[in-house]
Each structure stands twice: as structure tokens, then as C-alpha cells.
Amino acid sequence: MSDIIQLLPDHVANQIAAGEVVQRPASVVKELLENAIDAGATDIKLLIKEAGKILIQVIDNGKGMSVTDARMCFERHATSKIRKAEDLFSLHTKGFRGEALASIAAIAHVELKTKQEDQELGTSIKIEGSKIVSQGFINTATGTSIAVKNLFYNIPARRKFLKSDTIETRHIIDEFQRVVLAHPGISFLLHHNDIEVYNLKSSNFRKRIVAVFGSKMNEKLVPIEEQTDIVAITGFVTKPSFSKKKRGEQFFFVNDRFIKNSYLNHAVVSAFEGLLETGSHPSYFLYLQVPANTIDINIHPTKTEIEFDNANALYAMLRATIKHSLGQYNVAPILDFNRDANLDIPYQLEKSSSLASTPKIIVDPNFNPFKEASQKEIHFPFNREKQTQNWESLYTSVEPLQEIQQEKLFENQQDKTQKTFQIQRKYIISLIKSGVVLIHQSLAHQRILYESFLESITVKEANSQQLLFPVKISFSSNEIEMIYTIKQELENAGFSFDEFTKDSVTIKGIPTSVTESKISIILEDLLNDINLEVPDTSYSHFDVMAKSFAKTLSIKTGTFLSEKEQENLVNDLFSCKEPSISPTGKSTFKTLTLQEIDNLFNS
């Protein structure tokens, strides 16, 4: 029998390795940015075209590479950071596996230009699918430029599974934000399709956060700082009043590397105990510096998951530090939530003599309230003689009064039987001949609003109300770009825009069903929903928009509805095309027949 085990060719092995390292364009962005940082760059440019599918280029002013290094960097397991296995437990740099560039070169067209400061000419290398097409000398600036073109060109199956440009751009920006937040001392520039998205100058951590997420972020931040023998904690958490319904803007950095750690996240959330509404999540930007030999970052190809030697101690310190900072900035919980703190006496005045004293009660034991009254004539408040002159008038209103009482009596008899009832301000029971219908008021209203918005956006021109004073709302740069890409759809829905800047948008008109106070909430919820992975078609954008608007504006659980409002909700629901299902696929109502109700008591 012939042998069946054989070694894989290098180009096939590289393509397989690429599956671990390069999952999407954002993976390439992460690897190239980290290499630029490891090269000591102080200025890094990231150029993207068509969400990275056509071009990803990183240009840095780092130390560059020699001719030999430029050639070797595309070989598998070629690295300048590892000499022995023990080095894996004492890492102070980003990329170290020696697989990134080899994997990228296996599935794309790569062009490298690099030069060291003491060299007169730099090196240029072009690679296509792991094969070097050309190599030579070139006149270029000190540093390195790597352009990755036509990603997954030789693996069409992998390219087919890439998401829409909107989604892939969102992933690229996520990776970019993680890198720039970890290194506020480095200048970064991001261009997408020749449009500047970020231009971040070298600054401190707080200014970098504000530059990335917009000026409105500055007022939300509470500083965190603690220094111990096993960890140094710095950074910021946001005030509880600015918590969000969805997880986002949650960043952990360990030794300048972004990580994901559910255990430490739980420590942060527990520090906010008693300060957040149910279902709300705090935002945080936290830096942890720990000895390199106390962590293991070589447990996942993306290097975002790490293991700590002393996780329990880190948990306790992180939780205590955040609780202490929240207390210092007067956002800690109080025991009596119904007490008005404005009525409290300041501590320093509690024993002060300037406080008003308690008034004394003086009683006169000889006071007799009847002594003077007995000596005076008692006057009635009316003139009896005058009143009896028009005695007939006392009976003039008897007949009309009887008629009114009779009318009320017959009104009560003719009252219609109530057909709807609200339960726990969450459900509506509607009576039908065969039994009852139990309706979820919030989900039902979502279905009504969804169909209304979808019709307005796609079929007919939506009604818009002009604002007396235009509203200016701050967003981060990438959020502004997302709003601009769906500007036409928003205008179809009834929004009207006046001006776009890098960190704000001015709105001069809104749909008639939207109140001015809801504008910011609606747009923030919409951006969160668009970030979900949906196909990139015009109808899908309309659909996501209609669902998002309906979810934000619908009647919430706990809202009291009058009998008339209940009836209108029921009638509107059963006028919908799909009344039984909410926009998110949940049932809006359940029917209970009399037989099913009887069975509940006969079983």
C-alpha cells in the first residue's frame, strides 16, 4: 500500500496559516500597524480603499529594514523578537510570531518599500501569492511602506464570505481605534477612499480619547489611577449617567496591548453596582501595566486574549480602585435613594452656633377662650327675614335636578362594556367572541411603527417638520462618516440636514413622529444597529432604519395606556400586513380560546 502522508507545499501552508492570522481586512490593518509601532515610528498613515478589499497601505517613519531583513520578513517564522522559547514570557513588542507578513503575502499582492536612516537607497519588493515578482533599489523616505492589494484574490471562497463595505470598514475602524488609544504619543492618520476619517496628533490619553470619540466625551470621563507592586492602573471610566444599552467603548490595555477579558470586565461592572439601570453598560478606557513574566499572551492567534498569574488580585484591585474614584467624584451610591441631598446640613455646619435654634412653646394656663364670647351677642351669618321673602326660589331647581339624575341613571345603563384591559402596564387583553387576545404592547407598537416607517421611507415621501432652531449633535469621526453614507435614506425618512463637520452634524428637520428630544437617541441607536452584520443592499439599510426607529420610539413596558389608547393600539396592530410578528421576529400576541381557559381549571 502506498504512502499517503506528505508535506504541504510552502504556498499552501502559508494560505492555511493566513486563515488563522488574516480573517478579514481588519486583521491586516492590525498586523501592519503593530509592525510600524514596533519599528519605533512616531508618525503612521493608514490608507484604505473599498473597505480594504482593494488597498490597505501603512506608511511609517520608523527605523526601516535592511535589504536582507526586507526579504526575510516574508518568510514563515521569521522574527526579530524571539531567540528562545523563554522569550515568549517576556515580550514587550506587538508582532512576534513571524507569520503575519508571510500569511498576508500568500493571499494578496504586496509591495514593500523600506529604508534605514543610514542608507542612501531603500529596498523595493513586490510579491504575489508568496512569489517574489521583483526586487530592487528605490529612492524612498526613511521608514517602511507596505501596500496590500487585492486581498484574497487567489482564495475566492474566502473573499466571498467578506461582509459589506460598511461592515468591513467598521471592523477596520475598530482595530484602528484600539491601536491609537494604546499609543497616544504617536500621530496617526486614516484615509478611506481618499477621505480623511482621523487625523490624530501626538497627545495624552484623555485628549486621544476625546479626539477619537468626539468632544462630548470629555465631560463623561472619571479618571482612574492606582499604583501597586503587581499592577499600575490608569485610565478613565464614564459617569453612570452616560451608560449605554449596548456594550461598546470598553477598552482594556495591558502593557500597551488591547485585550479582551470577561473576568476583568466583570470587575468593572461590579464596581458600578447600584449606579446603573438594569441592562446598562459602563464605558471604560483602562490601562494596566504588569510585569511581562506574569502574563501569557501566546494563547490566541490574534493575541487579544491573555492569561494572568494573579487574576484574583487584579480583579479585587481594579474593582476597589474604580469604586474609590467614583466616590471621590461624587457619583457613588447613597443609602437613601429618596432623600433630597440639597436639604442636608453641610457637615461643617452641623455643630455651628449659627444654626437656628428650636423654637420654645409657651402655654398660658389662665387663658379662657369662652370668657369674652359669653359677654357678646352672637350674630348669625345671614338675615333670616330677608331670606324668607323669596322662599319660592328654593324649589325652582328641583325639577331640573331630577332630570339630571334620571339622565345619569340611563347613561350608566347604556355604557358600553369595556373590551380591553391593561395588565401590569405591559400587556393588553382584548375580548373576542371565542376568548381573549393577549397583546404585548411594546412589541405590537414596534410592528405598527415599523410598517409605517418602512412605507414612508420606501414608498411615499415622508412628512418632515422643520425645527425652529437647528439642532447640532456631536459624534465621533467614524460615526459622522456612517451618518453621511446613509444621508439619503435618512432624508427619505423625514430628516433634513444643514451641515456636516468632522465631529458634529446639524439637523434642521425631523420626521413628524419624532420629538426633538429623541433625535440624539434615535441616531445613536441607529448607528449601533447598522453596526450589526447585515447585507449591504439599499433595502437592508431601509429595513434596519425602520426597525431601529420603531424600537426606539415604541411604547415601553411600564407605560400606562388609557382605554382609548388601548383600543387604538389593538386596531392599528390588526391593520398591519404582518400583525402577529414584531420586526425582530417575536410574537406580538397570543390567543386563548374559552376552551383553553376552561382546560386550565379542569386539569
User: 439 by DSSP, 3-state: which?
Assistant: strand
> pTM for the whole thing?
0.65
pLDDT of 538 reads: 46
- Same domain as 156, residue 215: no
Which of residues 144, 170, 200 is at a domain's end?
A: 200
- pLDDT at residue 404 above 80? no
pLDDT of 83 reads: 46
Which of residues 200, 215, 243 is at a domain's end?
A: 200
CB 341 within 8 A of CB 334: yes
CA distances from 22 to 72, 154, 190, 233 (A): 20, 14, 20, 32
Provide the residue range defining the domain that includes 226.
205-328
Task: Give tens-digit pLDDT for 101-141.
Answer: 888 888 899 999 999 999 999 999 999 988 889 999 999 99
- Same domain as 240, residue 178: no
The closest of 125, 169, 165, 167 to 144, measured between CA atoms, is 125
Residues 342 and 575: their CA atoms lie apart, in Å, by 51
- Same domain as 225, residue 118: no
- % of the chain surpassing 90 pLDDT: 26
The amino acid sitting at 162 is: L
- Burial (CB count <10 Å: 0-12, 13-18, 19+), residue 490: buried
- Same domain as 271, residue 303: yes
Residue 132 forms part of a structural domain: yes
CATH number at residue 466: 3.30.1370.100
pLDDT of 513 reads: 76
Task: Give tens-digit pLDDT for 314-363.
Answer: 999 999 999 888 887 765 444 444 444 444 445 444 455 555 666 667 76
Task: Give tens-digit pLDDT for 66-78.
Answer: 898 888 888 765 5
CATH number at residue 138: 3.30.565.10
**More reliable by pLDDT, 427 or 16:** 427
Residue 195 forms part of a structural domain: yes
- Same domain as 57, residue 144: yes
- Same domain as 39, residue 86: yes
- Same domain as 537, residue 449: yes
- Same domain as 499, residue 483: yes
For residues 463-470, give the mean pLDDT: 84
Least confident of 28-32, 346-350, 481-485, 486-490: 346-350
What's the chain's average pLDDT? 79
Which helix (H) or strand (E) is 171 found in, with range?
A: helix 165-182
Residue 101 forms part of a structural domain: yes
Which of residues 328, 353, 379 is at a domain's end?
A: 328
Q: Please give the grid coordinates belonging to residue 61.
A: 517613519
Give the chain's domain count: 3
- pLDDT at residue 85 above 50? no
Residue 5 forms part of a structural domain: no
- Same domain as 147, residue 241: no
Residue 443 forms part of a structural domain: yes
For residues 282-287, give the mean pLDDT: 92
Q: Please give the grid coordinates belonging to residue 378.
A: 352672637
Residue 67 CA, chain-centre distance (Å), reads 46
Residue 537 forms part of a structural domain: yes
Cα angle 368-374-377, degrees, rounded to a multiple of 5: 140
pLDDT band at 148; cut points 50, 70, 90: very high
Task: Give tens-digit pLDDT for 508-559.
Answer: 988 887 888 888 888 888 887 776 655 444 446 677 778 888 888 888 888 8
Bridge pairing between strands 43-49 and 187-192 = parallel
Helix 262-271 crosses helix 311-328 at what angle (to 10 degrees)? 30
- Same domain as 506, residue 473: yes
- Same domain as 113, residue 249: no
301-332: burial string, b at 16+ Cβ within 10 Å, e else: bebbebebeeeeebbebbbebbbebbeeeeee
CATH number at residue 314: 3.30.230.10
pLDDT of 59 reads: 96
- pLDDT at residue 220 above 60? yes
- Same domain as 171, residue 241: no
- Burial (CB count <10 Å: 0-12, 13-18, 19+), residue 533: exposed
Residue 599 forms part of a structural domain: no
Residue 461 forms part of a structural domain: yes
Q: Please give the grid coordinates belonging to residue 488.
A: 439619503
CB 136 within 8 A of CB 130: no
